[in-house]
Structure 1
Amino acid sequence: MDAHPDTLTQLARPHRKAVLVALLWITIGSGILFGFLNAFRGYLPLSLLEWGMALYSAFLLFAVRRTRHLERWILAYILPFFTAMMAAVATPEASVTVFGWVLLIPLVGHLLLGRRLGMVVTLCFLAVATAIFLYKFRGDTAVMDIRSVANMVILTACITVFSHVYEVSRERSEIQLLKMAQTDFLTGLPNRSRIKVFFERERSRAGREQQPLSLLIVDLDHFKQVNDRFGHEAGDRALVFFADLLKHRLRATDLAGRLGGEEFGIILVNTATNTAIQVAEDLRQALADADLRHDGQLIPLTMSIGVAELGVDGQSLQDLLAVADQRLYQAKDQGRNQVVPPLAGQPRAPSGQTVSGPEQIL
C-alpha cells in the first residue's frame, strides 16, 4: 500500500506543528535579545529587523494554535525567516560568525516542509547565502582560507544530507506503521480503518467528477460449518484463498477489505448499480467454481452479497453499509449463494440518514 500524499501530510502535521511552535518561541526570544544587543552597539536597522521578526513570530504563534491550514502558516514563517536571515548576514555590520545561523536552514527546512519541498527551499537559500558570503569576504584572506571554507562546506553538506535522510527514514517508518495499522493480518487485505479512509477520498472524487460509486458487502456462507468440519486452519486458508481471489478479479482502482470474520467489503470506483451487480455475480460464480482443497478434501465455498450505491442508497459509508447489509441478510434468508440488488420501489436512505439493518457494521 502506497500512502496517499494527503495521508502523509496528516501524519506529519502534529510533528511539524510542535516543531513550528518551538521555533516561533525561539525566534521571539532571540529576536528580542539580539535586537537589544544590536541597538546597544548602534546597529539600528539590524535591531529593527530582529524586533520585526520577533513581533511577526508572536503573531504566527497565535495564528497556528487552532489553524486547519498549518502548511500555509509554515511557509508564512519559513520564507520571511530565511529571507530575514539573508538580510542579516548581508548587512555590513555582520561578522563571519553570523553565517553560523545558515546551518539552521537545512534542519528547519526539512523538519517543517518534508524531504522534497524542504530540500528545494534549503538549496535555494543556501545558494543565496553562499553568494553573499563570497561577495562579502572575497578579499579577506583569513576568512577565505581553503581549510576554513572546506570545513564550512563539509559541515553544511553533512547537516543537509543528515536532515534529508532523517525525513526519508521518518516517512518510510510512518508508511510502514500506517500499513500495519490498516491491514488485516491474516488476509493482507485492508481493514475497516483503511476502507473508511479510501471511501472518504473516493466519495469526494465521485462528487467532483460526477461519477458513481458502489459498495458490496460479501459474507461467506456456512463458514462456521467449514471451521467445524475441516478445522480452523482450513477456515483461515479459505479466508486467504478468497482474499487472493478478490485481489486478482477486481480492478486496481477498486478496494476490497475485510470487515471482520468472514465478512468483506468492496468499494467499486466509477461503478453504478447495474455494473456492480455484474461484478458481484462474477465474484460469486468464481468462488462457487473454485477448487479449494485442504488435506485432500474439497472445501465448498459460496457467498451472499448485498449491493448499494452512493447517492441512491445514502451519502455516507454508514448509510451504504447499512443498506448493503440489509440486502446481504435478505440473500441469506432467500437461500444464500446469491446477489441481492436494489429492488424497484425499495425504500432508499435519505441523505444524512441511516437505514437500519440487522447489524451495524461501523
Structure 2
Amino acid sequence: MFSQPDYQQHLARPYRKALLNALLIITFFSGLLFAWINFGRNNPVVAIAELVMATYSMILLFIIRDTQRLEFWAMAYLLPFFTIMMVAMASPRSTLNIFIWIFLIPIVAHLLVGRIKGLGLTLLYIGIATGIFFWRFGNDPAVMQPVILSNIGVLTLCLIAFSHVYEITREKTEQRLSQQAHTDPLTQLPNRAHLQSRFDLERLRHQRQGNPLSLVLLDLDFFKRINDTHGHAAGDKVLQYFANLMRTAVRQTDLIARLGGEEFCLLLPDTNADQAFLVAEKIRHRLARAAVDIEGAPVTLTVSGGIAQLGADGDSLDVLTRNADDKLYQAKATGRDRIER
C-alpha cells in the first residue's frame, strides 16, 4: 500500500531531483572556490571540510542519476552540507559575514525534503547557528546591538515562514492539479493516467518485496443497448451506479479506474489471480442481484471480466491489460456475465 505522503513524494520527485542536481554542481564548484580561499587565509580545517564536501557532492551527482531513494540521498546531502556550514561558522578565523549562509537553510531544506522534514532540519541547524553566533560574538558590543539582532532575527523568521508556507501551498496545488488530471469527471474514479502511476509504484513494491499484484478488466454487458434505448443520461447513471457498487466491494488499498466507455479496471495489490477472481465474482454477483431504476423501471445489469497477474501474464501495464482483455473477450464470447482467469 502507498499512502498519500508516498504518492506526493512520487509526484515531487522530478523537480526535487533537478534541484538536487543543480545544488550538487554548485556545491562542487563553490566548495573548491572556498577551499582555495580558506587555505590562503590559513584556515585549513574549514578548507579541508569544504574539499571533502565538494568531492562528496560529485559522488552524489552520479549516485542520484538512477536512484529510487531520492529523499534519502537528499538528506545525505543536506546533513553534511549544513554540518560543514556550522563548522565554518564556529571557526575562529571565520568572519561575521559567514552567518549570512543561515538564510539558505530554510529554502534548501524545504525544497528538497518537504515541509515536515524541511522544517525540522531548519529549526535544528538555525538553532545550532544561533548558539554559535552568541558563543562567538556575545561579548562584542559592536555586534550585540538591538537593531542588528532584530534585523537578523526577523529576516530569518520570515524566510522560515515563507519557505514553509510555500511548500504547503505547492503540495496542495500539486495534489489538486494531479487529482484533476487523474480523475474521471463522470464517476470520480481514477483514470488511465492515475492507473499507470499507481501501477508503477506497485510494480516497484512487487520487485522489492515479491508481493503479488493482479489486474481485473470489467466491461458492462449490453451497455450500448441502454444508451440507445434510454439515452446517454441513463447510461451515465448506470456508470455511476456501477462505480459506487465497486467501491463497496474492494479494499482501501485497491484501485478502481475507468478506462473509457463502460470498461473499468481493478488493480489489486497483495492479490494473486485466484484471489482476484473472488473479488471480481463478488462484484459480478452483487451487480446481477441489484437493479438500476431508469425512467421508473428497474434495469438489471451484468458484467464480464478478465484477470491477469503481474509476472505470470506480463511485466508491464500494457501487456497485462492486453492479456486481461483477451480473457474478457473470451467471457463475452462464451455468453457474458462471467469472469475468465
Is 1:286 equivalent to 2:286 in the alignment?
yes
Aligned to 2:321: 321
Greater shift, 282-291 or 168-177, is seen at 282-291
Aligned to 1:115: 115
How many matched pairs? 339
Residue by residue over 1:277-303, the C-alpha shift from the partner in whole angstroms, topping out at 9 and shown as x without a partner, is: 333233223222323223324344221
In the alignment, is the contact (CA less than 8 A) between 1:331 and 1:339 conserved in 2? yes
Quick one: distance in 2 between partners of 1:149 and 1:34? Answer: 27
Residue by residue over 1:232-256, the C-alpha shift from the partner in whole angstroms, topping out at 9 and shown as x without a partner, is: 1111111111111111222222222
Q: Give the superposition deviation at 1:163.
A: 0.9
Quick one: distance in 1 between partners of 2:61 and 2:291? Answer: 64
Greater shift, 4-13 or 173-182, is seen at 4-13
Quick one: distance in 2 between partners of 1:57 and 1:222? Answer: 63
Could you say what secondary structure the match of 2:304 adopts?
strand
Is 1:238 equivalent to 2:235 in the alignment?
no
In the alignment, is the contact (CA less than 8 A) between 1:115 and 1:167 conserved in 2? yes
Could you say what secondary structure the match of 1:114 adopts?
helix
Q: Give the superposition deviation at 1:134.
A: 1.2
Paired amino acid for 1:78: L
Aligned to 1:214: 214
Could you say what secondary structure the match of 1:249 adopts?
coil
Q: Give the superposition deviation at 1:147.
A: 3.7
Unaligned runs of 5+ in 2: none
Aligned to 1:332: 332
Q: Give the superposition deviation at 1:136.
A: 0.8
Paired amino acid for 1:279: V
Identity among equivalent pairs (%) = 45
Quick one: distance in 1 between partners of 2:307 and 2:206? Answer: 18
Quick one: distance in 1 between partners of 2:315 and 2:172? Answer: 34
Could you say what secondary structure the match of 1:306 adopts?
strand
Aligned to 2:186: 186
Aligned to 1:156: 156
Quick one: distance in 2 between partners of 1:140 and 1:213? Answer: 66
Quick one: distance in 2 between partners of 1:162 and 1:191? Answer: 35
Task: Call closer, same or farther: CA 1:197–1:23 in 2, change over 3 Å.
Answer: closer
In the alignment, is the contact (CA less than 8 A) between 1:189 and 1:243 conserved in 2? yes
Quick one: distance in 1 between partners of 2:206 and 2:38? Answer: 58
Quick one: distance in 1 between partners of 2:26 and 2:140? Answer: 32
Quick one: distance in 2 between partners of 1:78 and 1:312? Answer: 42
In the alignment, is the contact (CA less than 8 A) between 1:19 and 1:112 conserved in 2? yes
Paired amino acid for 1:241: Y
Matches within 5 A, 1:128-143: 128-143=128-143
Task: Call closer, same or farther: CA 1:45–1:185 in 2, change over 3 Å.
Answer: same
Q: Give the superposition deviation at 1:132.
A: 0.8
Aligned to 2:174: 174
Q: Give the superposition deviation at 1:158.
A: 1.5
In the alignment, is the contact (CA less than 8 A) between 2:221 and 2:302 conserved in 1? yes
Quick one: distance in 2 between partners of 1:180 and 1:56? Answer: 43
Matches within 5 A, 1:4-43: 4-28=4-28, 30-31=30-31, 34=34, 42-43=41-42
Could you say what secondary structure the match of 1:257 adopts?
strand
Greater shift, 53-62 or 239-248, is seen at 53-62
Aligned to 1:353: none
Task: Call closer, same or farther: CA 1:265–1:104 in 2, change over 3 Å.
Answer: same
Task: Call closer, same or farther: CA 1:253–1:81 in 2, change over 3 Å.
Answer: closer
Paired amino acid for 1:286: R
In the alignment, is the contact (CA less than 8 A) between 1:106 and 1:160 conserved in 2? yes
Task: Call closer, same or farther: CA 1:95–1:209 in 2, change over 3 Å.
Answer: closer
Aligned to 2:44: 45
Task: Call closer, same or farther: CA 1:205–1:76 in 2, change over 3 Å.
Answer: closer
TM-score normalised by the chain length of structure 2: 0.85
Q: Give the superposition deviation at 1:31.
A: 4.6
Matches within 5 A, 1:190-201: 190-201=190-201
In the alignment, is the contact (CA less than 8 A) between 1:257 and 1:264 conserved in 2? yes
Unaligned runs of 5+ in 1: 343-362
Quick one: distance in 1 between partners of 2:153 and 2:197? Answer: 45
Task: Call closer, same or farther: CA 1:334–1:18 in 2, change over 3 Å.
Answer: closer
Quick one: distance in 2 between partners of 1:330 and 1:43? Answer: 80
Could you say what secondary structure the match of 1:98 adopts?
helix
Q: Give the superposition deviation at 1:141.
A: 2.4
Quick one: distance in 2 between partners of 1:282 and 1:108? Answer: 50
Could you say what secondary structure the match of 1:141 adopts?
coil
Q: CA RMSD in A?
A: 3.0
Paired amino acid for 2:51: G
Task: Call closer, same or farther: CA 1:9–1:253 in 2, change over 3 Å.
Answer: closer
Paired amino acid for 2:108: V
Greater shift, 18-27 or 175-184, is seen at 18-27
Q: Give the superposition deviation at 1:187.
A: 0.9
